[in-house]
Amino acid sequence: MKFNRRVLSHLFAGAILAFACTAIVAQESSINRDLKSAFERYELTEVRLPESAVESGSLTLRLPTGGRTETLRLVRHDLRAEDFLAEDTGPMGRTPLDMGAVNTFKGSVEGVSGSEARLTLGQKGIEGFFETGSGRFFIEPASKYSTAAGPGLAVIYRAEDSKNGSGFWCESDIPSKIEYGKTLAAGSAAEAVQSLRRIDLATDADQAYVNIFGSAAAANAEILSILNMVEGTFASELNLTIRVTFMHTWTSADPFTGANTSQMLDAFRLHWNANYPVLNYPRTAAHLFSGKSTAQSQGIAYLGVMCSNSSYAYGISGYVSWAPGKFL
């Protein structure tokens, strides 16, 4: 009887192990199937960040890139000014918002002169980009593309390997997200000079944009993540930096109405000139992040006025809900 029980227990354990292995293989197959629908080529890797490293404000990551392992060294990077303010307009009127944690990082790739790395530690994982001697790579949580991917799994790819056919960003396409964010400085590119320049930026997020991300704090965190990556691109292309002076959100109805983005931009300009004058809210420009259907997939700004006419230094970027596959 004891022998039979022992045999049965071993058989049972073996069956459980076999089932577990089968489940793991099936899960990996499901993840890769989902990723192949979004990318021509990619690397799937596990990223584990020690709490001590995150708390210290410095990170060291080793990431695979096509047969190589690149070492990234980063430090926490707060884009917000020392006198930064955040405010929300909601059912109770205008109320101040907490600053929130700093989740944005910047750094470089070890051994690659002039390289740039920009990452954000979000609730779903790590996202951003880094440059090596062979080009720019993007990293995102694999769970954005596959529901089978657990915490810590990340996908690494090049922009040309993304199957996102849209010209705008979606939740899970970092290269397009950077292009989306560039609208905020559309007027500055032509004005840029070789010396180091800084945009002092104020932002607003309409009610539709806040609703997409679930809260004013989450919307602001998304905006800061976008700006961190955009700054990383401008730092090398235009020698330009971004400092955020003021962030506003709407958790009640906003006044930015219009039949098109041009009318919305006018409404945004008039409201901010009347309620957030430059003298009281110092800035180089103000930018609206909109989730309205009128603005989705679009961006607009007054061009060539950032240095000459602050009363017209405004722009809008519309959220885009389209995304490849099933991750939206």
pLDDT score of 267 more than 70: yes
Eight-state DSSP code of residue 237: H
Mean pLDDT of 247-263: 95
**Model confidence pLDDT, tens digit, residues 271-285:** 999 999 999 999 989
d(CA 124, CA 255): 32
d(CA 113, CA 65): 17
Element (H, E) at 83: strand 80-90
Q: Quick one: pLDDT at residue 298?
A: 73
Q: Are 199 and 182 in contact (CB under 8 A)?
A: no
Element (H, E) at 93: strand 93-96
Instruction: Give the pTM.
Output: 0.81
Q: Are 285 and 184 in contact (CB under 8 A)?
A: yes
Amino acid at residue number 158: R
**Model confidence pLDDT, tens digit, residues 119-178:** 998 878 899 999 988 888 999 999 988 889 988 899 999 988 888 654 333 443 566 566
Give the three-class secondary structure for 189: coil
pLDDT score of 245 more than 70: yes
Residue whose tokens read 């101040």: 96
Give the pLDDT band (50/70/90) at residue 223. very high
Angle, nearest 10°, between helix axes 174-181 and 216-237?
80
Q: Quick one: pLDDT at residue 239?
A: 76
Q: Where are the domains of the chain?
A: 43-318
Give the pLDDT band (50/70/90) at residue 15. very low
**Model confidence pLDDT, tens digit, residues 64-92:** 998 889 999 999 999 999 999 999 999 99
pLDDT score of 255 more than 80: yes
Q: Quick one: pLDDT at residue 7?
A: 46
d(CA 163, CA 119): 22
